[in-house]
């Protein structure tokens, strides 16, 4: 009896263990199922939110979006391709917009440069016109025409002979003569033939007491055979008709001639005929 009871107890224990194990297994299966369902729902919700966000980013409204669950792989690939094309179109549009804006900026810059160049040209033209107007308003300086007068009244007894010969009573030979001799009595006043500056007063060994006056435009006048030259001084500015000295007889080369004024005119250091320039 005792042996039979022990076997019965063992079987009872075994069934108890099986019952407990089965219960644990059922609880585990239930727990697994519940966890799987919750995880799947959470995954679906997250997938929908992500899809919505991507669609909104790509310009697709939430009403146009659909749940990716239950779609085939080809459908998802086609949708992704469409979304990519949409993104590319947006990128192209943005690029075109930026290119258009760049072109507009370049055109505006070109227009600004043209306007600046045009304004600069107008300004330069205005300045040039103003300068031309100012220059046209400036009265050109009138160049004074030299009009030489006869320095002493009297007869011309010996002519200008630069390129020909005249006879000298003093030297008793034929010589050149770089001026004219005007006959006048001693102490006759000699006047400046034109305004100028007294360059020198000297006693020339050939032509006696001599006064040289410089004039404008490279002209010079020479007054020789003077008795005196005390009325002017070197460096003095004199006027036309102002007294220079008096007629004398101090020229050794013309000592045999009657009292007279030996008168010369030079232009740029070249002797010229005084009779061509003297105005009576």
Give the pLDDT mean for 216-244: 96
152 secondary structure, DSSP code? S
- From residue 272, alpha-carbon distances to 177, 194, 199, 269 in Å are 11, 16, 19, 9
- On whether residue 244 sits in a domain, the answer given is yes
- On whether residue 159 sits in a domain, the answer given is yes
What does the mean pLDDT of the chain come to? 75
Q: How far apart are CA 141 and CA 138, in angstroms?
A: 9
- Residue with the bigger pLDDT between 127 and 189: it is 189
Q: Strand 180-183 to strand 260-267: parallel, antiparallel, or no bridges (unpaired)?
A: antiparallel
Q: How far apart are CA 83 and CA 92, in angstroms?
A: 14
- Give the DSSP H/E element, type plus range, for residue 125: helix 73-137
Give the pLDDT mean for 115-138: 51
- On whether residue 230 sits in a domain, the answer given is yes
* pLDDT for residue 170: 86
208 secondary structure, DSSP code? E
- On whether residue 22 sits in a domain, the answer given is no
Least confident interval from 18-22, 24-28, 154-158 = 18-22
- Residue numbers of the domain that contains 222: 148-279
pLDDT of 232 over the 50 cut:
yes
Q: How confident is the model at residue 23 (pLDDT cuts 50, 70, 90)?
A: confident
* pLDDT for residue 129: 53
- On whether residue 246 sits in a domain, the answer given is yes
* Under 8 Å between Cβ of 149 and 240: yes
pLDDT of 229 over the 90 cut:
yes
Give the pLDDT mean for 161-180: 90
User: Could you read off the pLDDT of 178-208 as tens digits, one per residue?
Assistant: 999 999 999 999 999 999 999 999 999 999 9
Q: How confident is the model at residue 138 (pLDDT cuts 50, 70, 90)?
A: very low
Q: How far apart are CA 53 and CA 59, in angstroms?
A: 10
Q: What is the CATH number of the domain that holds 176?
A: 2.70.70.10
* pLDDT for residue 148: 96
Q: How far apart are CA 158 and CA 263, in angstroms?
A: 11
Domain count for the chain, please give it.
1
Residue % of the chain over a pLDDT of 70: 58
Q: How far apart are CA 238 and CA 190, in angstroms?
A: 13
Which 3 state secondary structure label does DSSP give 131? helix
Q: How far apart are CA 261 and CA 167, in angstroms?
A: 18
- On whether residue 261 sits in a domain, the answer given is yes
Highest mean pLDDT among 53-57, 127-131, 159-163: 159-163
pTM across the whole model: 0.51
* pLDDT for residue 241: 96
User: Could you read off the pLDDT of 261-276 as tens digits, one per residue?
Assistant: 999 999 999 999 999 9
- On whether residue 232 sits in a domain, the answer given is yes
């Amino acid at each position: 009896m005792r042996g039979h009871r022990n076997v019965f107890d063992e079987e009872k224990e075994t069934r108890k263990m099986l019952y407990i194990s089965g219960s644990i297994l059922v609880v585990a299966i239930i727990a697994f199922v519940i966890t799987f369902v919750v995880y799947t729902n959470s995954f679906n919700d997250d997938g929908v939110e992500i899809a919505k966000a991507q669609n909104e980013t790509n310009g697709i409204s939430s009403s146009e979006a659909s749940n990716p669950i239950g779609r085939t792989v080809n459908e998802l690939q086609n949708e992704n391709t469409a979304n990519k094309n949409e993104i590319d179109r947006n990128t192209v549009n943005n690029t075109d917009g930026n290119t258009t804006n760049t072109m507009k900026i370049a055109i505006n810059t070109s227009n600004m440069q043209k306007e600046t160049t045009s304004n600069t040209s107008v300004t330069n033209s205005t300045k040039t016109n103003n300068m031309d107007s100012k220059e046209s308003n400036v009265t050109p300086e009138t160049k004074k025409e030299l009009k030489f007068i006869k320095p002493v009244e009297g007869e011309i007894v010996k002519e200008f002979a630069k390129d020909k010969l005249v006879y000298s009573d003093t030297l008793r030979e034929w010589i050149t003569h770089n001026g004219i001799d005007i006959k006048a009595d001693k102490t006759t006043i000699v006047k400046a033939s034109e305004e100028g500056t007294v360059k020198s007063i000297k006693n020339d060994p050939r032509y006696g007491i001599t006064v040289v006056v410089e004039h404008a435009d490279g002209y010079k006048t020479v007054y020789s055979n003077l008795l005196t030259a005390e009325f002017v001084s070197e460096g003095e500015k004199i006027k036309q008709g102002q007294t220079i000295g008096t007629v004398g007889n101090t020229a050794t080369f013309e000592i045999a001639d009657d009292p007279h004024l030996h008168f010369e005119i030079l232009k740029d250091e070249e002797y010229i005929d005084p009779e061509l320039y003297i105005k009576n």
